[in-house]
Amino acid sequence: MKSIARALAGILALVGLTLWAHAEISSADQQTFRGLISNQIAAFQHDDSAGAYSYASPTIKGIFPTAEMFMSMVKQGYMPVYRPQSVTFGDAIETPSGPVQKVYIKGPDGKDYLAAYTMQRQPDGSWLINGCAILQADGPSI
């Protein structure tokens, strides 16, 4: 009986994960994500610290309390988004940490990267960027 209950619990967990993994993000929210990310990248390209910082969530601003500190961090650790050669948007997916927008970037070094932007809904219903993880892509060139 315990093994049947355990198996049933496992199946229910898989169904729950499958439903969670396929939660849809509205097309309006996806457009908002793409606009925020595009605008922040444009601000980076123009060395507009204040502009780039304006798209960061309160969580990020708590870690980097000034636009200058934020920009310094980006220059040191996020060169692909600071000076991309090209930017292509992929899917937006729902995760336990919130929506993540996939962005495919050709960096200034000519290498391909996947940037995963975590988005955060604000109390007023708007969205801000709550983080970005960058991985060098191993697949074919974008």
Residues 67-107: tens digit of each pLDDT: 999 999 999 999 999 999 999 999 999 999 899 999 999 99
CATH code, domain carrying 104: 3.10.450.50
Domain assignment present for 4: no
121: CB partners within 8 A, 6+ apart: 98, 127
Residue 65, in any domain of the structure: yes
Residue 67 CB contacts under 8 Å (≥ 6 apart), including other chains: 49, 50, 52, 53
59 — pLDDT class (breaks 50, 70, 90): very high
Do the domain assignments include residue 14?
A: no
Span 17-56, pLDDT tens digits: 444 455 689 999 999 999 999 999 999 999 999 999 999 9
CA distance 117 to 49: 19
Number of domains composing the chain: 1
